């Protein structure tokens, strides 16, 4: 007898889990490198950041990837799925810095680089394993013997080698350019770490390091006085503090208003700087005054103008965002304090003109929540033009397939507008750039500045750098002083090498020969360029091969309201809290333990209370995985409702109880095989359920091939719930009660096939419950785990004729059951049904399946007549077929009429209210589209129920 050892997908008996995991490890280790006629399926994890815990986006990734991996393993492929974590340079450093300050009131500079790095490694050893535990709880069937961390020595070697090789052949170089600078982090950051926030106009934001909120979304106009003239030129800016770095005013060459000022100068009000009036086609004559202030060192557009017009590039901020340079009282002020003070001074000098609302985009650092400043910094860059051209060609030729196909447009867009990739980060945690600045301890040898690229040597080690420097400068090694670059590489650099660094590249290992290139890359569409493209760049550049053949991009997970997951909204969900359940109170506690700004905590608590008033119910791993995959369509977003996940938990319970019930029909020591041919004694319902199973199997195989997970999960769900549980298990009861031994044997064989193959097609999504139940089946084969059982395919049980017949019978059953519900008949009260058909075909079908119809329609008997008795409700099955359901003596007409009339009144009010709302003049424009859809569906359902109630009342009145 089966005994449920916990909620479905939750706790299972330890031996079945151990059996599955240990078998996988042994199977992989002994057979991965052996030839396999079916081929190989190889995939690497998109390595999650080592910082803290997973979120539902990671859960979605793992649910999809594990389902794909398990499917290929069951199909007989040699299957390898490599796990690991990313060191997450900025994110990890921020977490540890905050922890250090919170616990010891120390900064990383107080400790120094080496001791701070030791602190991060301590934190990594203490917390880093948590993600692996979570992945195991999700049931992810990785080869855990190959787990790879991007700071492991093997991967560090690959990073150094890649950088050196690409520098030696000219693909990596050093240059001073404009970068995204985070003053809070004191580092350049990548585009993906910049959150671009649209604001409609004047808006105040809390900025780290400032007590008062800072104003954005306004355009300030002020005047520059033309030198030796009474004229002035009015310019406008959203960042008034940057006027300290203005080195020109630009006008359009065809603008008649300013032609007489070409080549003249304006005077800077706060320093002795003459600012030229230059001409440039980029100026929009119709915007504002047609004159634009140019700050080349702090604005991307101005940077290009500065290069074209050969202007000075004056940096006015230091790395922390304080004003530097000879600017009197402004020197040493924080940039946004300076913003307010400059405005005051312009007013005092009579140069201020006006402030107007200005919709704009404000760039925030996603890690520090500071406003990003464009700053000129000497950095290391990867040349991307040829890399992008090769990546574009790979997709155009079909060598690299991107799924869904609409993402190809994004791919081409990124590649066509690509700029060289800044890979420097001013951090301490990460892969230190293998570059050394050369100076000399002999004054007779000329030394260069750190900004002179000629005095930088890139090498695999300091010894190699010394040798290269000695040869390059023809100087004795004893006179050379090397200083390694303090910066580290962008995390995406090491992530881009991941598909081959995990297999031991640059060494030509057996793993690299066997498993590169991989088969598939699966990840979220938001990092198509930032990670996927860079893996393609490096794979083609360094190994001459694409790193994978296909890229499948899944949607992003949002909350049930369609909002982006955000800590400040309180809607970020830890998958472990869905698996195990969590109270609202404990959800609140998590906010206090996070890095969330204290000012945001109350807002987040309110969000949690709105979305999870009773907390999150325990759903289990299987239900969460299944729900996430069931959501996947061609849409770009998934609006995840926890109630739907809970619904799949109930499905797990149904699965458990149905299998438990079905196994009661198996007794003794007899074992079964689903691979043997049918006996020939199967009845029509046996043939029907096998045909339905065959359809589900075909749908699953096709769905996996097309990455249509919604179709696969729907097929599994429908077969188990609507075909097996709701119909077949009910129809088989009379067989086991009163059937012949041959009929019982055929039913047992059919039931075994349904359980065995039904569990197998469900196993990639629900590994825990299917493993547990699979181990209990009376099987002939000795397959140790469902995860290596053969995935069903090419079965020959399709029977279109039987399916159409049963579909018609089920239609009659649904109509009878619906009528029973309308008349409030409990299931234990059986009814008599009299069938009147004027056409022989439907009559013959219902006669053929009369016993099954009797069972699933809760009837005491079914008769086929020409004159039914009085006291029946008349139900239409088709134009040629009616069911007369005998109600006389089963119900009290007057009481039922009263109940139905009361229900009709309630529905009439609902219909009236909905119609009034929908007829409002502004309904189509003001009511959200999803609400309009809900209202339309509700109106249709309510009107349909009213019509059924009217018909039921009319029938009752005749009794």
Query: Does 402 share its domain with 509?
Result: yes
pLDDT at residue 30 greater than cutoff 60: no
Q: Is residue 690 part of a domain?
A: yes
Residue 728 DSSP symbol: I
DSSP 371-413: BPEEEEEEEEEE--HHHHHHHHHHHHHTSSEEESTTHHHHHHH
pLDDT of residue 98: 86
**Number of domains into which the chain is organized:** 6
Residue 413 vs residues 409, 416, 529, 537, 847: alpha-carbon distances, Å? 6, 5, 10, 16, 64
DSSP 857-922: TTEEEEEE-SSPPSSEEEEEEETTEEEEEE-TTTS-HHHHHHHHHHHHHHHHHHHHHHHHHHTSTT
Q: Is residue 227 part of a domain?
A: yes
Query: Does 707 share its domain with 811?
Result: no
Q: φ and ψ at 240, to 5 degrees?
A: -60, -30
From 886, 908, 935, the end of a domain falls on 886
Share of the chain above pLDDT 70, in %: 95
pLDDT of residue 25: 43
Q: Is residue 807 part of a domain?
A: yes
b/e sequence 619-655, b meaning 16+ C-beta within 10 Å: bbbbbbbbbbbbbbeeeeebbbebeebbebbebbbbb
In this structure, which long-range contacts are made by residues 601-609, counting pairs with CB atoms below 8 Å and at least 24 apart in sequence? 603/568, 603/569, 603/570, 604/567, 604/568, 604/569, 604/570, 605/570, 606/570, 607/569, 607/570, 607/571, 608/570, 608/571, 608/584, 609/584
Query: Does 879 share its domain with 900?
Result: no
Query: Does 139 share its domain with 236?
Result: no
Average pLDDT over residues 194-218: 93
From 735, 750, 781, the end of a domain falls on 781
pLDDT of residue 389: 96
CA dist 115 and 150 (Å) reads 20
Share of the chain above pLDDT 90, in %: 68
Residue 572's Cα: distance from chain center in Å? 12
CA dist 322 and 79 (Å) reads 55
CA dist 54 and 47 (Å) reads 11
Q: Is residue 184 part of a domain?
A: no
Query: Does 79 share its domain with 47?
Result: yes
**What are the pLDDT digits (tens) for 612-627?**
899 999 999 999 999 9
Radius of gyration of the chain (CA): 36
Bigger pLDDT: 958 vs 54: 54
pLDDT of residue 4: 43
CATH classification at residue 510: 3.40.50.620
Q: Is residue 635 part of a domain?
A: no
Average pLDDT over residues 703-714: 96
Residue 555 has which token pair? 């949607």
H or E stretch including 471? helix 462-473
Q: Is residue 429 part of a domain?
A: no
pLDDT at residue 850 greater than cutoff 50: yes
Query: Does 696 share its domain with 811?
Result: no
pLDDT of residue 590: 85
pLDDT of residue 959: 66
b/e sequence 338-375, b meaning 16+ C-beta within 10 Å: bbebbbeebeeeebbbebeebebebbbbbbbbbbbbbb
Range of the domain at 940: 894-957
In this structure, which long-range contacts are made by residues 585-589, counting pairs with CB atoms below 8 Å and at least 24 apart in sequence? 585/615, 586/615, 587/612, 587/615, 587/616
On average, the pLDDT of the chain sits at 90
Work out the end-to-end distance of the chain between its first and last CA atoms, rounded to an integer number of angstroms.
49
Continuous H helices in 48-88: 56-74
CATH classification at residue 861: 3.30.2320
pLDDT at residue 35 greater than cutoff 80: no
Q: Find residue 613's DSSP bridge partners.
A: 615
Q: Find residue 422's DSSP bridge partners.
A: 381
pLDDT at residue 22 greater than cutoff 50: no
pLDDT at residue 34 greater than cutoff 90: no
Query: Does 510 share its domain with 477?
Result: no
Which of the four pLDDT bands, split at 50, 70 and 90, describes residue 778? very high
pLDDT at residue 830 greater than cutoff 80: yes
Q: Which pTM does this prediction carry?
A: 0.85
In this structure, which long-range contacts are made by residues 328-337, counting pairs with CB atoms below 8 Å and at least 24 apart in sequence? 328/270, 328/271, 330/244, 330/270, 334/209, 334/210, 335/183, 335/241, 335/373, 336/207, 336/210, 336/214, 336/241, 337/210
For residue 937, count other CB atoms closer than 10 A to its CB: 10
Q: φ and ψ at 520, to 5 degrees?
A: -140, 145
Helices (H) and strands (E) in the chain, counts: 32, 33
Query: Does 203 share its domain with 62?
Result: no
**What are the pLDDT digits (tens) for 906-944?**
989 999 999 988 888 888 888 888 888 888 988 988 888
pLDDT of residue 653: 96
Query: Does 769 share its domain with 706?
Result: yes
CATH classification at residue 224: 3.90.740.10
DSSP 12-47: --HHHHHHHHHHHHHHHHHHTTS--TT-EEEEE--P
Query: Does 827 share its domain with 947?
Result: no
**Residue 572: exposed, middle, or buried by beta-carbon count in 10 A (0-12, 13-18, 19+)?**
buried
639: three-class secondary structure by DSSP? strand
From 781, 814, 839, the end of a domain falls on 781
Give residue for tokens 């009376």.
778
Give residue for tokens 């400032």.
210
Do residues 735 and 683 make contact, with C-beta atoms less than 8 angstroms apart? yes
pLDDT at residue 15 greater than cutoff 50: no
Q: φ and ψ at 266, to 5 degrees?
A: -115, 160
H or E stretch including 218? strand 218-226
Residue 895 has which token pair? 């009481």
**What are the pLDDT digits (tens) for 398-447?**
999 999 999 999 999 999 988 899 999 999 999 999 999 999 988 878 77
Q: Is residue 142 part of a domain?
A: yes
Do residues 649 and 9 make contact, with C-beta atoms less than 8 angstroms apart? yes
Average pLDDT over residues 823-835: 88
CA dist 513 and 410 (Å) reads 32
Query: Does 162 share its domain with 234?
Result: no
CATH classification at residue 901: 1.10.287
Q: Is residue 698 part of a domain?
A: yes
pLDDT of residue 8: 41
For residue 737, count other CB atoms closer than 10 A to its CB: 8
The 3-state secondary structure of 885-896, one letter per residue: EECCCCCCHHHH
Query: Does 236 share its domain with 357?
Result: yes
Nearest Cα to Cα of residue 67 among 814, 834, 770, 754: 770
């Amino acid at each position: 007898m089966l005994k449920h050892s916990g909620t479905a997908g939750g706790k299972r008996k330890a031996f079945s889990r151990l059996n599955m995991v240990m078998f996988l490890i042994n199977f992989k280790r002994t057979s991965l490198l052996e030839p396999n006629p079916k081929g190989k399926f190889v995939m690497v994890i998109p390595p999650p950041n080592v910082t803290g815990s997973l979120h539902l986006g990671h859960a979605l990734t793992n649910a999809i990837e594990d389902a794909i991996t398990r499917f290929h393993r069951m199909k007989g492929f040699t299957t390898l799925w490599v796990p690991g974590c990313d060191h997450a340079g900025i994110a990890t450093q921020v977490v540890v810095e905050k922890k250090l300050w919170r616990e010891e009131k120390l900064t990383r500079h107080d400790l120094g680089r080496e001791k701070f790095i030791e602190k991060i490694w301590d934190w990594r050893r203490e917390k880093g394993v948590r993600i692996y535990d979570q992945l195991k709880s999700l049931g992810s069937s990785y080869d855990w013997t190959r787990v790879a961390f991007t700071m492991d020595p093997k991967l560090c070697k690959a990073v150094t080698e890649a950088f050196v090789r690409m520098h030696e052949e000219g693909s990596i170089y050093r240059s001073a350019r404009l970068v995204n600078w985070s003053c809070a982090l004191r580092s350049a950051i990548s585009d993906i770490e910049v959150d671009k926030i649209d604001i409609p106009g004047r808006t105040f934001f809390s900025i780290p390091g400032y007590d008062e909120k800072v104003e954005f979304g306004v355009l300030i106009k002020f005047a520059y006085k033309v030198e030796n003239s009474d004229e002035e030129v009015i310019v406008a800016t959203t960042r008034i503090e940057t006027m300290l770095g203005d080195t020109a005013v630009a006008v359009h060459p065809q603008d008649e208003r300013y032609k007489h000022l070409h080549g003249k100068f304006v005077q800077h009000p706060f320093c002795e700087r003459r600012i030229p009036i230059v001409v440039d086609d980029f100026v929009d004559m119709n915007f504002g005054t047609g004159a634009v202030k140019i700050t080349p060192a702090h604005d991307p557009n101005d940077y290009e103008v500065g290069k074209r017009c050969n202007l000075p590039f004056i940096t006015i901020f230091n790395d922390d965002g304080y004003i530097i340079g000879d600017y009197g009282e402004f020197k040493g002020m924080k940039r946004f304090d300076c913003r307010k003070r400059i405005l005051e001074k312009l007013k005092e000098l009579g140069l201020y003109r006006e402030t107007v609302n200005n919709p704009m985009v404000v760039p925030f650092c996603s890690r520090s929540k500071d406003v990003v400043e464009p700053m000129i910094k000497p950095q290391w860059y990867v040349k991307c033009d040829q890399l992008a051209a090769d990546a574009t060609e790979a997709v155009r030729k079909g060598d690299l397939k991107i799924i869904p196909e609409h993402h190809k447009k994004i791919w081409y867009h990124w590649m066509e507008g690509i700029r060289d990739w800044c890979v420097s980060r001013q951090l301490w945690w990460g892969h230190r750039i293998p570059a050394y600045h050369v100076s000399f301890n002999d004054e007779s040898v000329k030394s260069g500045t750190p900004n002179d690229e000629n005095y930088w040597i890139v090498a695999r080690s300091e010894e190699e750098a010394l040798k290269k420097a000695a040869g390059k400068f023809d100087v004795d090694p004893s006179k050379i002083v090397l200083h390694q670059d303090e910066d580290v590489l962008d995390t995406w650099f090491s992530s881009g090498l991941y598909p081959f660094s995990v297999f031991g590249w640059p060494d030509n290992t057996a793993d690299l020969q066997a498993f590169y290139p991989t088969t598939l890359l699966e990840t979220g569409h938001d990092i198509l360029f930032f990670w996927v493209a860079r893996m393609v760049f490096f794979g083609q550049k360094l190994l001459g091969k694409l790193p994978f053949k296909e890229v499948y991009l899944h949607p992003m997970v949002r909350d049930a309201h369609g909002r982006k997951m955000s800590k400040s909204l309180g809607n970020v969900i830890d998958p472990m809290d869905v698996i195990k359940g969590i109270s609202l109170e404990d959800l609140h506690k998590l906010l206090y333990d996070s890095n969330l700004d204290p000012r945001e905590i109350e807002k987040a608590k309110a969000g949690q209370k709105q979305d999870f008033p009773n907390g999150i119910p325990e759903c289990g791993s299987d239900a969460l995985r299944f729900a996430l995959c069931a959501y996947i369509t061609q849409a770009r977003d998934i609006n995840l409702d926890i109630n739907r996940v809970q619904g799949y938990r109930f499905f797990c319970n149904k699965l458990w109880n149905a299998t438990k019930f079905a196994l009661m029909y198996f007794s003794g020591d007899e074992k079964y095989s689903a691979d043997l041919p049918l006996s020939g004694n199967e009845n029509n319902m046996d043939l029907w359920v096998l045909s339905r199973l065959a359809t589900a199997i075909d749908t699953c195989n096709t769905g996996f091939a097309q990455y249509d997970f919604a179709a696969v999960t729907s097929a599994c769900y429908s077969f188990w719930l609507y075909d097996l549980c709701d119909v077949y298990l009910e129809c088989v009861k009379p067989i086991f009660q009163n059937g012949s031994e041959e009929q019982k044997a055929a039913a047992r064989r059919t039931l075994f096939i349904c359980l065995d193959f039904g569990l197998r097609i469900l196993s990639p999504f629900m590994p825990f419950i299917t493993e547990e139940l699979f181990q209990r089946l009376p099987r002939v084969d000795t397959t140790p785990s469902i995860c290596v059982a053969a995935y069903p395919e090419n079965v020959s049980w399709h029977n279109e004729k039987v399916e159409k017949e049963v579909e018609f019978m089920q239609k009659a059953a649904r109509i009878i059951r619906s009528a029973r519900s309308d008349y409030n008949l409990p299931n234990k009260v059986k009814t008599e049904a009299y069938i009147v058909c004027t056409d022989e075909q439907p009559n013959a079908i219902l006669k053929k399946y009369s016993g099954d119809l009797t069972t699933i329609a809760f009837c005491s008997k079914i008769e086929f007549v020409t004159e039914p008795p009085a006291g029946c409700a008349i139900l239409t099955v088709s134009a040629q077929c009616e069911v007369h359901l005998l109600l006389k003596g089963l119900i009290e007409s007057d009481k039922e009429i009263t109940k139905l009339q009361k229900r009709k009144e309630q529905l009439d009010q609902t219909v009236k209210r909905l119609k009034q709302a929908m007829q409002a003049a502004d309904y189509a424009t003001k009511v959200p589209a999803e609400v309009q859809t809900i209202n339309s569906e509700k109106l249709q359902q309510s009107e349909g129920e009213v019509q059924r109630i009217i018909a039921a009342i009319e029938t009752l009145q005749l009794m």
